[in-house]
Structure 1
Amino acid sequence: MASSLLKSSGIVSVMTLLSRVLGFVRDVMLAVAFGAGGGMDAFLIALKIPNFGRRMFAEGAFSQAFVPVFTETKTKQSHEEVRDLVSVVMGTLGGVLSVVTLIGCLGAPLLLYVFAPGFSASADPVKHQLGTEMLRWTFPYLMFISLTAMCGGVLNSYGRFAIPAFTPVLLNVCLIASAFIDANSVRVLAYAVFVAGIVQFLFQLPQMRKLDLLPRPRWAWRDSRVRRILALMIPVMIGSSVSQISLLVDSAIASLMGDGPVSWLYFADRLMEFPLGIFSIAVGTVILPALAVQHAKNSTGDFSRILDWGLRTMLVIGVPAMLGLILLAGPLVTTLFGYGKFTDRDVEMSTYALWAYAPAFMGFSLVKVLIPGFYARQETRIPVRYGVIALISGSVLSVSLYGLSLIYHWEAAHAGLALATSFSACVNSTLLYRRLRADSIYLPAPDWRKFWLRLFVASAAMVAVTVLLNAPLADWLALSTKLRVIKLLEVVSAAGLVYFGVLIAMGMRLNDFRRH
């Protein structure tokens, strides 16, 4: 079982790595072509609003609610019932999203004001007009990507992880291609997002056909299965979306800080989400269907062992990734984005943001593993309560730090917003873990002390090597592009070899994770 999960996680990770690499190519092009000015700020807000809905609704609430119900139907009922479920859910989901899309496009000026008050017509007419226009092109992406997420959930439940994991590559391809069409207008990026939504949805359909699950959508609002999914979705929309709401709060406050902070936070967030997307989301993706199956079989022992496997896998990869983001924040930003219109000041400000975002990576990663332990059992109220607590605590800290920045005139005030996001993520993961333990849903294996010792020693050795080989930010900025890449690869490779070498020397093996 664990060996199969490891293989599935590897497939998702490889495909996601391809997407993230192309995402970095995309972001480098955006940084070089448009820098961190007002036009880029406006596009990023226009992209963040449908992305917020995508992560909260499509990848968050809908996926977490749909997969357990779909898996139960697949396990206990006939193939005809499974195909009928896909048809009624897609028909109902598509109908609702069509209305939401229409409202979103008509209400684009209001949405822009809510999510970026600094871009209002009175505060900045140019950003307001540009942002509104682009939002009307990007908002339909929510509808198409939600339908894509539904197809991806079906394919994942049948163990076909490669196609759903590869699909995000298409968004990056469309955005990169748009830069070659018209590199002088930021509006072309919004058009590319619209096209990408359609392409990603169509890309899933051949695989659905191979499974004999190509849907014939029909409206079925009163269907008991649809109502059941809806009942699970509503609280999950809050509980699984704390990170996104927190990031949008950051963007809203950052929009009040003038030109630059929205973009600085975006580029830092992209670096933080790189390992999150490759490893954390991959593990969370594969364990949810597995946990749902064990719950349907009433196999509590295997349920707990899957959670244990997920936590160990996440910590082995996540702890060095978090430390790397902190220690190499400046070199990473410099090497990837420090060219063209992305100035030295932009590099410095983005570095501050990445320092503050790094702990959020670990918090979000643990949430990705822990929250399926509740949703696979169709328990949604507890994650919602903890999600709200974390969201409120993070938002209070964001507003407080913003207020202090106005008083003391902090140069890097935007970094306080990123720090509040990290605090919120860590609060959420801590509460989820404690509840799983308290309710005996998760019973750790007996050898965790040995695991922690190995992890600590390997991480300490990695930190020592990284500090020894690193250099001040000014030295990195003085290097050519080629030398930046070579030096960064040298530092990362040396740190990685030392980390995994120490783990192996202390007795940790890949088979340990297969056995778990």
Structure 2
Amino acid sequence: MSLVGKFASVGGATMVSRLLGFVREAMIAGALGAGPVTDAFYAAFRFPNLFRRVFAEGAFNTAFVPLFAKEVEGGGNEAAQKFAEEVLSVLFTVLFVFSALAMIFMPFLVSTVVAPGFVSSPEKFELTVLMTRIMFPYLACMSLMAMMAGILNTMRIFFLPAVVTTLLSVFQIIAIAGGMLLGIGDETMGTWQAWAVFFSGLVQFGVLAIAVRRQGLRLRLRLPRITPEVKRLLILMVPALVTGGVTQINLLVGQIIASLQENAISVLNFADRINQLPLGVIGVAVGVVLLPELSRSLKAGNFADAQHLQNRSLEFALVLTVPAAIGMVVLPGPIVSLLYERGSFSAADTAMTAAALAAFATGLPAYVLQKVFQPGFFAREDMRTPMWFSMISVAANIALSLAMFPFLGHVAIALATSISAWVNVVLLAMTLWRRSHFRPSSVTVRRCTMILLSSAVMGVVAWWLGHALIEPAMGEGLVRKAASILGTIAISAVVYLVAVVLSGGIDKGEIKRSLRRRRA
């Protein structure tokens, strides 16, 4: 399978997950609105989710995948299985102890880290503590699942680890639908959501553990020991703990500040959910595929292939994220209104969410470009350089959030997150260039330039259609409003596709090859 085919495989599975996530978020918005229970649930969920992304998908995976790929390339499945069992035993022990301590001291953590602003509302605070305790074991399940996914990705199995993430939304949708049918109260609905998260984690880990076993790796728990290989993993993880979780750390900082403004956490989450669709589809696809592929190429000494992988990844990232970002900046209000404005979600909630969405969208290309540039360091087992850049980015985010919050409110948090992401990208790209680890080819530079110009043309068309088609339909019924918004998006997309193909922003040969493979 080609690199683009692998991106498409992971991206397609991730898109299903994100679309189900939209269904889930729309149901939560309709059932609970942007109220205290929604605030409590998202605050509670973000805490274990933060550690999952920082530790499991961030530090652990970025350190584990290159080392596991090295074992596969050098010693085959036998050496890889031995290394995986040693890591699994240590990982399981650490997760068990950490989860137990976190659940015991959860009231303290909620009052100091998760949502300090909730202390003034005892009921909201207690509900947040309860839901965080229920969901915290999800971290352990997802960390173990991340290890299974890393093993499968190194073996070039990408679709199953990506599609299994849809189970989180499936479990939550079932819980919401059941609660609405039974007419349960808001607090009970929030608690049901927490239990749905917990059980989905167990099932996701179980599915991937079975898949790894079917690949011939029958992993067993051993007595945990810090072997030289495990020690190397831990050394690489220390800086990666900072690097891999920079976006989540930024979001947590934003949540702490947002807890001072009523309903700010909810509207930021709703806006970020929309922003996460292209980010998840493209960013996750690039991150999941590029790191193991780049690691194997560098271990094999194939530097030309490594350059090719990075060039194609850069093109793939920009060809989809730039037009998506411009679309969300130009049409944030109509997009939010179509997706969320019903039931308890008011026009005022739409206005707040749209402002946050536009601010988040300005950083969308940067979020994805991080996934393109960071593997250039991780695959070479250099975790420290991205760590320092991430620390600079976090400092910029905190300073900007605090400086702008009194003037812009919740929008300041989204905007600061975007600016800090661009700071990180510039530092990563400049360092790779200076070290001659990656310099875009002339073909890639030309294609990226055409992508930017084609996206600008699309943005002008979308802005004009927004005034001509969408504004007159906003006061009409849902059908006319949806038709005008979806029609505008469809026309803009066609304009962009025609422009980018005719200008050479997309490799026409790759399109023809993909079509031939589909016919075959």
The Cα of 1:474 is off from its aligned counterpart by 6.7
2-side partners of 1:475 and 1:41: how far apart?
34
Alignment of structure 1 residues 302-313 onto 2, 5 Å: 302-313=305-316
Q: Distance in 2 between matches of 1:208 and 1:498?
A: 44
Q: Distance in 2 between matches of 1:9 and 1:79?
A: 25
Q: CA deviation at 1:206?
A: 2.3
Counterpart amino acid of residue 7 in structure 1? G
- Deviation readout 1:251-273 (Å, 9 max, x if unpaired): 11000112x10001000011111
Distance of 2:275 and 2:34 partners within structure 1: 18
In the TM superposition, what whole-angstrom CA distance separates every residue of 1:332-369 from its partner, at most 9, and x where no partner exists? Answer: 11011111001110000000101111122111110011
Cα distance in 2 between the residues matched to 1:313 and 1:243:
21
Contact kept, 8 Å, 1:88 with 1:226, in 2: the verdict is yes
Distance 1:38 1:491, change over 3 A: same
State the alpha-carbon separation in 2 of the partners of residues 28 and 167 from structure 1: 21
1:142 paired to 2:139? yes
User: Secondary structure at 1:442's aligned position in 2?
Assistant: coil
Corresponding residue for residue 336 of structure 1: 339
Q: For the Cα contact (< 8 Å) 2:54–2:245, is it kept in 1? A: yes
Q: 1:510: how far off?
A: 3.9
Counterparts of 2:234 and 2:302, CA distance in 1: 26
Q: How does 1:152-163 map to 2 (within 5 A)?
A: 152-163=149-160
CA contact (8 A) 1:115 1:249 kept: no
Partner of 1:408: none
1:374 and 2:370 are equivalent in the alignment: no
2:172 matches 1:175: yes
1:486 positional shift: 2.1
Partner of 1:465: 461
Q: What TM-score do the two structures reach when normalised by structure 1?
A: 0.94
Query: What residue in structure 1 maps to residue 286 of structure 2?
Result: 283
Query: Aligned ranges for residues 145-294 of structure 1 at < 5 Å?
Result: 145-183=142-180, 184=185, 185-258=189-262, 260-294=263-297
- Counterpart for residue 14 of structure 1: 12
2:317 equivalent to 1:320? no
Q: Secondary structure at the match of 2:216?
A: coil
TM-score (ref. length: structure 2): 0.94
- Which residue of the partner structure matches residue 500 of structure 1? 497
Report if the CA contact (8 A) 2:322-2:452 is conserved.
no
- For 2:490 and 2:191, the matched residues in 1 are separated by 39
Provide the rounded CA distance (Å) in 2 between the counterparts of 1:145 and 1:452.
36
Amino acid at match of 1:218: R
Q: CA 1:224/1:119 → structure 2, altered by over 3 Å: closer, same or farther?
A: same
* Contact 1:46–1:135 (CA under 8 A) maintained in structure 2: yes
1:129 corresponds to which residue?
126
1:514 to partner: Cα distance: 9.9
Runs of 4+ in structure 1 deviating by more than 4 angstroms, as ranges, are 472-477, 512-515
Residues 225 and 481 of structure 1: CA distance in aligned 2, closer, same or farther (over 3 Å): farther
The structural deviation recorded for 1:182 is: 1.9
Per-residue deviation at 1:452? 3.9
Answer yes or no: is the 8 Å Cα contact 2:14–2:284 preserved in 1: no
Alignment match, 2:114: 115
Q: Which moved more, 1:262-271 or 1:477-486?
A: 477-486
Alpha carbons of structure 1 residues 514 and 233: separation in structure 2 relative to 1, 3 Å:
farther
Please tell me whether residue 455 in structure 1 is matched to residue 448 in structure 2. Answer: no
**Residue 305 of structure 1, CA deviation:** 1.9
Quote the Cα distance in structure 1 between the aligned partners of 2:177 and 2:275: 27
Correspondence 1:485 to 2:489: no
Is the CA contact 2:331–2:463 (under 8 Å) kept in the aligned structure 1?
no
Where 2:207 maps in the other structure, the secondary structure is: helix
Conserved in 2, the CA contact under 8 Å of 1:275 and 1:321? yes
User: For 1:146 and 1:134, how far apart are their aligned partners in 2?
Assistant: 19
Shift of 1:449: 4.6
> Of the candidates 398, 409, 413, which is equivalent to residue 413 of structure 1?
409
Deviations 1:101-157 (A, max 9, x none): 10111111122121211012xx11111111001110011100001101110011111
Query: For 1:478, what is the secondary structure of its paired residue?
Result: coil
Structure 1 residue 512: Cα displacement: 5.4
Shift of 1:450: 2.6
Partner SS for 2:363: helix
Q: How far apart, CA to CA, are the structure 2 residues paired with 1:340 and 1:315?
A: 36
Q: Distance in 1 between matches of 2:425 and 2:446?
A: 23
Partner of 1:47: 45
AA paired with 1:115? V
Say whether 1:430 aligns with 2:429: no
Cα distance per residue 1:352-394 (max 9 Å; x no partner): 1011111221111100111011001000110000000011011
Aligned equivalents of 2:445, 2:54: Cα separation in 1: 36
- The answer (yes or no) to whether the contact 2:242–2:391 under 8 Å persists in 1 is yes
Please tell me the residue identity of whatever aligns with 1:182. Answer: G
Partner residue in 2 for 1:56 = 54
Q: Using the TM superposition, give the Cα deviation of residue 230 of structure 1 relative to its aligned residue in structure 2, in angstroms.
A: 0.9
Give yes or no for contact 1:95–1:219 (8 Å, CA) kept in 2. no
Say whether the 8 Å CA contact 1:61–1:233 is kept in structure 2: yes
**Considering only aligned residues, what root-mean-square deviation do their CA atoms show, in Å?**
1.7
Query: Which aligned pairs between 1:353-368 and structure 2 lie closer than 5 A?
Result: 353-368=356-371
Amino acid at match of 1:247: L
- Work out the CA distance in 2 between the residues paired with 1:68 and 1:190: 34
Question: Structure 1 residue 448: deviation in Å?
Answer: 4.2
Deviations 1:34-88 (A, max 9, x none): 0001110000000000010011011111110000000000000032221122222
Aligned-pair identity in percent equals 35
| Residues 475, 131 of structure 1: alpha-carbon distance in 2 compared, 3 angstrom cutoff | farther
Structure 1, gaps ≥5 residues long: 406-411
CA separation in 1, counterparts of 2:114 and 2:312?
38
Q: CA deviation at 1:477?
A: 4.6
Offset of residue 331 of structure 1: 1.1
CA contact (8 A) 1:309 1:513 kept: no
Alignment check: 8 A CA contact 2:501 2:508 kept: no
Amino acid at match of 2:107: P
**Contact 1:89/1:217 (CA < 8 Å) preserved in 2?**
no
Task: Measure the CA separation in 2 of the matches of 1:170 and 1:29.
Answer: 16
Instruction: Mark the runs of 5 or more structure 2 residues left unpaired by the alignment.
Output: 514-520
Among candidates 439, 446, 449, match of residue 443 of structure 1? 439
Report the Cα distance in structure 1 between the residues aligned to 2:445 and 2:39, rounded to whole angstroms.
Answer: 47
- Return closer, same or farther for 1:332/1:219 CA change in 2, 3 Å cut-off: farther
CA distance in 2, matches of 1:356, 1:308: 28
Q: Cα distance 1:93–1:475, how it changes in 2: closer, same or farther (>3 A)? A: farther
> What is the letter of the counterpart of residue 332 of structure 2?
A
**Residue in 2 aligned with 1:409?**
none
Cα distance, 1:513 vs. partner? 8.4
